Chain A
Amino acid sequence: MDIRKDLLYSDQHEWVRIEDDKAFIGITDYAQENLGDIVFVEMPEVDREVEAEEAVGVIESVKAVADLFSPVSGTIVEINEELEDAPQLLNEEPYEQHILVVSMSELGEADDLMNADDYARFCEEEEQRG
């Protein structure tokens, strides 16, 4: 399982990359591995205001349908439209494909996210719980 050192992580298995006040959000390798082949991504509307941990989209795989959460509050300023026609990119290169970009309203929220080491431990615990 691939966990990138330079990213932050949520307990819903999203990764976050912060650039200035912008948060690039995608799903982790662990998430795509557990979902299996992803067949559809339902995106939020650009300009929508979101609160941290609010469901903003849906990821559908052959096995399950999962909500996509925004780990941070703010305004959605961009979505990755490429995923609408090619959802498999989330399986193939989860860390290269952000799903949306949020202009953060509370920069401090980034401190609540996990670093790579914490996230690796978190995934291990999830595995053991089954």
Chain B
Amino acid sequence: MSKLLFEKNVPGSNAFSLPPCDVPEQDIAIPAKFLRQTEMALPELSEVEVVRHYMALSHQAYGVDDGLYPLGSCTMKYNPKINEWAVRLPGWSCLHPLQAPETVQGALELMYETERMLCEIGGMDAFTLQPAAGAHGEMTGVMIIKAYHQHRKDERRKKILVPDSAHGTNPATAHVMGYQVVEVKSNHRGLVDLDDLQAKMNDEVAGLMLTNPNTLGLFEEDIEDIARIVHEDGGLLYYDGANLNAIMGVARPGDMGFDVVHYNLHKTFSTPHGGGGPGSGPVGVKSFLSDFLPQPVLIKEKDGYRLDEDRPLAIGKIHSFYGNFAVVVKAYAYIKALGSAGIREACQYAVLNANYLRCKLKDYYEIPYDRLCKHEFVATGRWQMEDNGVSTLDIAKRLIDFGYHPPTVYFPLIIKEAMMLEPTETESKQRLDDFIAVMQEIAREAREEPRQVLEAPHNTPVLRVDEVQAARNPVVRYDKS
């Protein structure tokens, strides 16, 4: 493992040179108890050594620019570099958030146009670009649902329904918003169990949070019945846009009956995410909910664009200024570059790639729901576990040796030894074939030489990390002694 900056310390070397002080020194009477008694433990290093340190670390990182990144439900698609060019144009990058609206009409027009495009893609009526990420979008959406019920003096609704295959953020959001979370079971086909939904839906339920397709990559075929059951008892339907890449340009949540949606611009609309964020989680609503959107709301008038702060029913402010504006510019560039035909085609390739991968791997790994999937599917390491004691975690670690980022593992929770693969539309057939060959080789190793897999990774700077020890006794502070 590489040394820390502190461990590379060379006393006396440094990367700065300060001019002599040209103002009279003042003695500021800081009470002695606030004064540091020991030297600060700052490393002393020359500029070039600091640069080399971070350059070496960057070589150990892995991103979609390095290779396939099949992290299920994360949509790690390539971020076209033209988006980076677009956002660096001085017309965007030199703006100040406190500029008067009449001097930033171009920026407001871009935001307005983006809102309109997101409405069209989702079949919604109004959007806010303010939320800073997916979970922030969920919170905004559930605040809107809560405000809607409260405005109607419907005070009994204390519960939110969430399927057992949902992303962890869904129950977390509902809980943070003060709702009791009620889990809806999946049926034997991996879809929402309508009987269980019907049994749990009543006039105490504020709404259902749903991802479609769900985390198994399966389209909720009964979505119209689901919407009817929820709406009949006065609940609202929330669409978690995590898996929007599987339907964009082909089907629209608004047409399925969803009342509130959030998208992840950093997934579906190809802006950087993970450590490279920041993200953006715009929220869209049907017109009967638009008064509850957070302020400011962008309004187009005949003499230009205006930010409306006078919104008596709004849930309030959820972000300063304009949200993560730079992310919106990148998403705008992406959508405009693809156009409506391109958006649809990207979706179709994402689905084709996932199904190609599924069919090529099904003889080597168990596929619990082996039928046409959308943009992702779940395989498992159960055969390897039962035959040779090789777990999904071991398989994931072995993938690193072959230069691939592992898929999402042990999720969704309803599948044992799950690995969730989402190749995205970015990948070529040649790249997928290479990945498939690696997965087949790991399956062979698990059978014939399991130690290769059990002891992986073999080629990384740090081998198997002691995750248990790291979680139980984390060391987060450098201690020289």
On whether the beta carbons of A37 and B468 are closer than 8 Å, the reply is yes
Any chain B CB within 8 A of the CB of A74?
Answer: no
Residue of A nearest to B416 (CB): A130
Q: Is B467 an interface residue (CB 8 A)?
A: yes
Q: How many A residues touch the partner, as a band?
A: 10 to 19
In the complex, the number of residue pairs spanning A and B with C-beta atoms less than 8 Å apart equals 26
Q: Is B375 an interface residue (CB 8 A)?
A: no
Among B168, B382, B415, B467: residue with most chain A CB under 10 A: B467
Residues of A within 8 A of B5 (CB): none
A62→B472 CA distance, assembly (Å): 10
Q: How far is the CB of B381 from chain A (nearest CB, A)?
A: 12
Interfacial chain A residues near B416, Cβ < 8 Å: 34, 130
A88 touches B472 (CB 8 A): yes
Bits for B397-429, please: 1 = Cβ < 8 Å to A, else 0: 000000000000010010110000000000000
Known contacts A130-B368, A130-B382; A40 and B471 CB within 8 A of each other: yes
* Cα(A39)–Cα(B471), bound, Å: 6
Interface size on B, residues (CB 8 A): 13
Residues of B146-184 contacting chain A, CB below 8 A: 168, 181
> In the complex, A40→B470 CA distance in Å?
12
Does A65 contact B168, Cβ atoms closer than 8 Å?
yes
Query: Cβ of B410 and Cβ of A64 under 8 Å apart?
Result: yes
A63 lies within 8 A of B410 (CB): yes
Interface string of A116-130 (1 = CB under 8 A from B): 000000000000001
A55 to B415, CA, bound (A): 22
Closest to A86 in B: B472
Complex: A39 Cα to B469 Cα, angstroms: 8
Residue of A nearest to B471 (CB): A39
Residue A94 interfacial (CB < 8 Å): no
**A87 within 8 Å of B by Cβ?**
yes
Question: Chain B residues with Cβ under 8 A from A55's Cβ?
Answer: 181
The residue from A60, A64, A87, A88 contacting B413, defined by CB atoms under 8 A apart: A64
The complex places the Cα of A40 from the Cα of B473 at a distance, in Å, of: 10
Q: Write out the residue numbers on chain B whose beta carbons fall within 8 Å of the beta carbon of A63.
A: 410
In the complex, what distance in Å separates the CA atom of A25 from the CA atom of B201?
Answer: 30
| Distance between A38 CB and nearest chain B CB, rounded to angstroms | 9
- List A residues 26-82 near B (Cβ within 8 Å): 34, 37, 39-40, 55, 60, 62-65
B468 near A62: Cβ-Cβ < 8 Å: yes
| A92→B413 CA distance, assembly (Å) | 23
Q: How far is the CB of A12 from chain B (nearest CB, A)?
A: 11
Interface residues of B (CB under 8 A from A): 168, 181, 368, 380, 382, 410, 413, 415-416, 467-468, 471-472
Sample of 17 A–B contacts (CB below 8 Å): A37-B467, A37-B468, A37-B471, A39-B468, A39-B471, A39-B472, A40-B472, A60-B471, A62-B467, A62-B468, A62-B471, A63-B410, A64-B410, A64-B413, A88-B472, A130-B380, A130-B415
Give 10 nearest A-B pairs by CB, closest first.
A39-B471, A37-B468, A63-B410, A62-B467, A39-B472, A130-B416, A62-B468, A64-B413, A62-B471, A130-B368
Given contacts A37-B468, A63-B410, A130-B368, 7 further A-B pairs with CB under 8 A are A37-B467, A40-B471, A64-B410, A64-B413, A88-B468, A130-B382, A130-B415
